[in-house]
Structure 1
Amino acid sequence: MEKLLSSWSSTVKSLPETYVFPADSRPGDTGVPFCNAIPVVDLQNTLPHDAVQQILKASQQYGLFQLINHGVDNDLLRDTMSVVQEFFALSNEDKASVYSEDPSKKCRLYTSTYDYENEKVHLWRDNLRHHCCPIDEFIHLWPQKPTRYRDNVGEYSLQVGNLSARILDLICEGLGLGPGYFGDGLTGVQLFSANHYPPCPSPSLALGLPKHCDANLITFLLQDEIYGLQVYRDGEWLGVQPIHNAFVVILGHQAQTAHDAEHRATLS
């Protein structure tokens, strides 16, 4: 538990050396412009055929897009972010039941990555991650505090799972594949992952997440109004403009029709 950033980061005035990234991979002090060309798909006010074409084009050109009017309840989005913030603000004693350094755990809280002891540089983040599908099989493993966590995140997981199935069916339609083509082999596992990035004393030297591509099929990232996501395109880093109540939808390696969306999380 003493490794958790939320346990000690507020007491340090300089960034520990173990969190300083090499010069060629740190964000540095140079400002990164927003990429205004990243497509925004309006799922409610766009004709289905047009939405299919927009999603396919965005996936092939960028590997990601922003999704608005997606049908997930706005109050639920707000409450989910709130309950996650409340969780990370809990005492170490209250978080101890889900803290683990064992990567095989189906629900665990940890710092940096699954291999903290062997990594050369640590990430400036705490992460809470747990399986969601089927909920009845995993919900008893989720945090018990805050008391509304399980109800709130459970409903959020159900709504996002339904949205995921809808987007994948639209992709299947655009590719001329039958509904449900991806099947349970790719969509049967659903993970909820919450990153906590405490204020960093030297954000130009550290990262919340390094440059990477998602290994899974599809990711729904609730960025809301908190900027930090950057995408690597044509040899430069570009910021992803936060849109209130929007999801950033990222296609992973398992979606072989997509452009590899290399991205990272910067700090403030």
Structure 2
Amino acid sequence: MEKLVSNWYNVRPVPEDCIYPSEKRPGNIHVPKGEVIPVIDLSEADKGDRNRTLVIQKILKAAQEFGFFQVVNHGVSENVMDETTSVVREFFQMPDESKQHLFTQDFSSKCIYFTSCENYANEKVHMWRDFLQHQCHPLDTWRHFWPESPARYRDIVGACSVGIKNLASRILGLISEGLSLKSGYFDDELSSCMVLTALHYPPCPEPSLALGTCPHDDANLITFVLQDEVSGLQIFKDDQWIGVDPIPHAFVVNVGCLLQVISNDKLRSVKHRVVTNASRFRSSSAFFVTASEGSVIEPAKGVVNEHNPAVYRPFTPKEFCMKFFENDADTEATFNHFKA
């Protein structure tokens, strides 16, 4: 467990294997004030057909222009959100001996606790973060693999997982309606899996040299992020980084690569990163909703016609992920491999 950043984060200078090349360093981590990530009040969709249409239009516009948006009044209780943030932070603050059994380099394990990412042994530069990762849907299948401590972890994270799965179905339903797809298009296999990655970012003595999470796209369908009050998440748009400021009791939602393919590039996955800071711990919980490994991913027939031919050929999520990691998470190269 000596590799965990949280066990040595206050060393100075930053270790060489955590310093990014000059062209990839965050530099000035304080992004200039510019465009603001759209915030969508989901409760408006329940106030008549006209309002529902307006919410759908806002979601599609945000997903097209930013690849990201935040949702408020989404149906997941504020108490569940607060307790999830609290219990995740509590997990990372437990003494090492309470987490030792989860620390592993075997990433086929059902529940893992480690530093940087699954490819730690082959990384040229390590990210400034520790993480806990496990499957969380279907709940009854996976819950017994989760941490037993803190004692309330399974109940609280279980309640949040159920809430987010319902929220995902709701938003995917609105997206489906906006793309003129059949009702329930994203149900079943296309959204049957969900993974939680709980992330812990200790303070970094030189934030301009390291990254909490390096620039990347998400290789899944759609992602829901519960941020704490500490800023750090940024997206790349129009050749600049834009901060995604934390909003109390909001979820950050972003389009994954598979949803970009299904929409035939009408919606887009966007690069994002997390920067560190010199004085505060930051935690977040990212829920990755995705399709089953053997399902078929392709542009939906409802978005393809003679004027808009399919951009991609059919493939499975397993094939996409294998090529994604083979290309060292280079999204453009991976998309090009699956072009029609």
Aligned: 1:80 with 2:89: no
- In the TM superposition, residue 35 of structure 1 has moved relative to its aligned partner by 4.1
Summarize the alignment of residues 66-77 of structure 1 with structure 2, pairs less than 5 Å apart: 66-77=70-81
Q: Give 1:135's aligned residue.
A: 139
Matching residue's letter, 1:182: F
Q: Give 1:6's aligned residue.
A: 6
Q: Give 1:40's aligned residue.
A: 39
Summarize the alignment of residues 151-166 of structure 1 with structure 2, pairs less than 5 Å apart: 151-166=155-170
Deviations 1:186-211 (A, max 9, x none): 21110111110001111110001111
* 2:227–2:251 contact (8 Å) kept in structure 1: yes
Cα 1:84–1:260 shift into 2, 3 Å: same
Q: Give 1:102's aligned residue.
A: 106
* 1:215–1:254 contact (8 Å) kept in structure 2: yes
Deviations 1:205-235 (A, max 9, x none): 0001111111000000112422101111111
- In the TM superposition, residue 30 of structure 1 has moved relative to its aligned partner by 5.8
- In the TM superposition, residue 9 of structure 1 has moved relative to its aligned partner by 1.8
Quick one: distance in 2 between partners of 1:86 and 1:115? 26
More helix by share: 2
Quick one: distance in 2 between partners of 1:112 and 1:30? 19
Cα 1:213–1:35 shift into 2, 3 Å: farther
* 1:34–1:241 contact (8 Å) kept in structure 2: no
Match of 1:266 among 275, 289, 293: 275
Quick one: distance in 1 between partners of 2:208 and 2:199? 19
Cα 1:224–1:58 shift into 2, 3 Å: same
* 1:231–1:264 contact (8 Å) kept in structure 2: yes
Cα 1:70–1:30 shift into 2, 3 Å: closer
* 1:112–1:127 contact (8 Å) kept in structure 2: yes
Unaligned runs of 5+ in 2: 46-50, 278-340
**Cα RMSD (Å):** 1.3
Quick one: distance in 2 between partners of 1:139 and 1:99? 18
Matching residue's letter, 2:97: E
- TM-score, normalising length: structure 2: 0.76
Summarize the alignment of residues 1-268 of structure 1 with structure 2, pairs less than 5 Å apart: 1-10=1-10, 12-29=11-28, 31-46=30-45, 47-256=51-260, 257=263, 258-268=267-277
Cα 1:156–1:54 shift into 2, 3 Å: same
Quick one: distance in 2 between partners of 1:169 and 1:183? 9
| Structure with more contact order per residue of length (Cα contacts < 8 Å, sep ≥ 6) | 1
Identical counterparts, % of pairs? 49
Deviations 1:29-87 (A, max 9, x none): 36312443321110113521111111011111111111111111001111100000110
Deviating beyond 4 angstroms after TM superposition, the runs of 4 or more aligned structure 1 residues are none
Number of residue pairs matched? Answer: 267
Of the structure 1 ranges 156-165 and 224-233, higher mean CA displacement relative to structure 2 is found in: 224-233
Quick one: distance in 2 between partners of 1:54 and 1:174? 10
Quick one: distance in 2 between partners of 1:105 and 1:38? 36
Deviations 1:133-190 (A, max 9, x none): 1111111110010000000000000001100000000000111112221233221110
Quick one: distance in 1 between partners of 2:43 and 2:253? 16
Quick one: distance in 2 between partners of 1:37 and 1:146? 36
